[in-house]
Structure 1
Amino acid sequence: MTPTFTTIGLVVADMAAAAAFYERLGLKFGDDDDNHRECELAGAVKLTLDTEAAIRSFTPDWTRATGSSRVSLAFQVDSPEAVDEVVAELAAGGAVVTRPPWDTFWGQRYASVSDPDGNEVDVYATLPQ
C-alpha cells in the first residue's frame, strides 16, 4: 500500500482570526465548530485548522513551539500587480508583512506575510518575460 498525502494541519490560537486570514486568500472553510475547520484544496488535499485547546484535548502536554515558523504555505496569484494588492489587503487586515513584494532573480513577484499564529505565507506571481 502506498500512503496518500491528504491534509495540511495548522494549530491556531484564535480560530476566527486564522480562518479570516486564510479566507482573505480565497479559501473557504466549513463551519465545523469553534475548535476545528476544514477547507478542501486542489487535488483532494485539505487544510485543517485546530485550536490549541482541541490539540490539548488528546495531547494534554502539547506546547506551542517558539522561534521561527516551521511551516510555510504559498499562494499563487494571476499577476505581479495582484501580489501587491493581496499583500496590501492582508496587511490592512492585520497581517505582518515579513518580506515586502519584490521581483526575484528566479522570475517571480514574491512577498511573505505572517498568519495570526506566525506561520509564513508567501504570495507570488510569474513575472512577464
Structure 2
Amino acid sequence: MEPRLSLITLGVADLARATRFYEECLGLPRLATPPSVTFFELGKTWLALWPRECLAADAGLPAEGSGFRGFSLAHNVRSPAEVDALLARVAAYGAQVVKPGQPTDWGGYAGYFTDPDGFLWEVAHNPDFPHV
C-alpha cells in the first residue's frame, strides 16, 4: 500500500447541519456533489460527510454507537492565539469545546472540540510541525 490517506468519511446525523458547520464555520472548500453526500477537498485528501445510516449500511455494520470513537482529527495552526480563536469560533457554531487551549507537555499549545455529531478534533500549535 502506498503511504497515503485519500478520503476521511464521517457518518453524520444531519447532513445539512454538518455541511454548514464544515463549510461556514471551518471554511473548508466544498466540492460540487450530489445531495446525498458532501465532499471537501483538503489538498490531496478529501473529507466526506455522509448520513450515518448510509455509511453504516455501506460497511455492513449497525449505525448505533456513541461515546469516544477511539480517534481524533487534528488541525495545526501557527500560534496559540489561533488555537483559542478557532475554539471560540467552533463553539459559536454549536461545537462543544471539551478541552480549552492550554500548554502541552510536548512544548506546544492545544485544545479539543467535538463537532455537532461528536467527532473529536484537536486544534494545536506545534512549533516543530512542518505543515501549517
TM-score past 0.5 threshold: yes
Distance 1:50 1:73, change over 3 A: same
Deviation at 1:34, TM superposition (A): 3.3
Structure 1: which 5+ runs fail to align? none
Deviation at 1:125, TM superposition (A): 1.0
Structure 2: which 5+ runs fail to align? none
The one-character-per-residue Cα deviations of 1:52-105 (angstroms, maximum 9, x if unpaired) are 343366467631322213331101112110111110011011111111110112
The one-character-per-residue Cα deviations of 1:1-44 (angstroms, maximum 9, x if unpaired) are x35531111100111221222232231122413321111212x2
Distance between the aligned counterparts of 2:106 and 2:12, measured in 1? Answer: 32
Asked whether the equivalents of residues 10 and 52 of structure 2 are also in contact (C-alpha less than 8 Å), the reply is no
Distance between the aligned counterparts of 1:21 and 1:108, measured in 2? Answer: 26
Asked whether the equivalents of residues 101 and 112 of structure 1 are also in contact (C-alpha less than 8 Å), the reply is yes
* Map of 2:37 onto structure 1: 36
Structure 2 length normalisation: TM-score? 0.81
Q: Secondary structure at the match of 2:19?
A: helix
Q: Percent identity at matched positions?
A: 33
Distance between the aligned counterparts of 1:59 and 1:5, measured in 2? Answer: 18
Distance 1:51 1:40, change over 3 A: same
Q: Match of 2:16, as an amino acid? A: A
Q: CA RMSD in A?
A: 2.3
Q: Match of 1:34, as an amino acid? A: P
Q: Match of 2:103, as an amino acid? A: D
Where do 1:1-16 residues align within 5 Å? 2-3=1-2, 4-16=4-16
Q: Give the aligned length.
A: 126
Distance between the aligned counterparts of 2:64 and 2:29, measured in 1? Answer: 26
Distance 1:16 1:40, change over 3 A: same
Distance between the aligned counterparts of 1:41 and 1:7, measured in 2? Answer: 9
Q: Match of 2:106, as an amino acid? A: W
* Map of 1:26 onto structure 2: 27
